[in-house]
Structures are given as C-alpha cells and as structure tokens.
Structure 1
C-alpha cells in the first residue's frame, strides 16, 4: 500500500518539474523576443538618424 502511494507523488513531482521547465522556456523565449524587438527598433532609429 505504501509503495502505491509513493508512485503518484513522484509522477506529480515530474509533471511539476516539466511544467517549471516549460514556464522557464516561455520566459526565456519572451525575453529573447523582447530584446530582439528592442534591438531592431533601436537599429532602425539609428539608421533613420544617419540618413537625416
């Protein structure tokens, strides 16, 4: 009986761990996208400033 109770707990831990990794990946992707957008915006502004 004890053995049976331990198994789902481990599974929940694994799911939680995967969920955490998923959230971390989403956060990393979002920050990278934000940095790229910001970089592109500043690069465009720099180009426009050079033209004038």
Structure 2
C-alpha cells in the first residue's frame, strides 16, 4: 500500500488545456520542481513559486 502526502493545487488555470504545450512549459517545470524537492527533502520549499 502506497503513501499519499497530498496534491499540488494551482488556481486560475482553467484555460491551460486550450493552450499549446509549449505555452504551459514554465508552469509544468515549476510544478515538477516542487514535487522533486518534496520527494528528495520531504518538505515543501516555500521559496519555490508557482
């Protein structure tokens, strides 16, 4: 059985699926960095902004 620590939620992204993937790259990269930091350090790095 796996462990679930939560979900990253970003408001105001209703139109994200209508934009091309390239336009969403920055947001995607920022969300990935938050996840990687949490996975490696076990904390949410509050200096990371999305």
TM-score by length of 1: 0.36
Higher-helix-fraction structure: 1
TM-score by length of 2: 0.37
Greater relative CO (CA pairs within 8 A, separation 6+)? 2
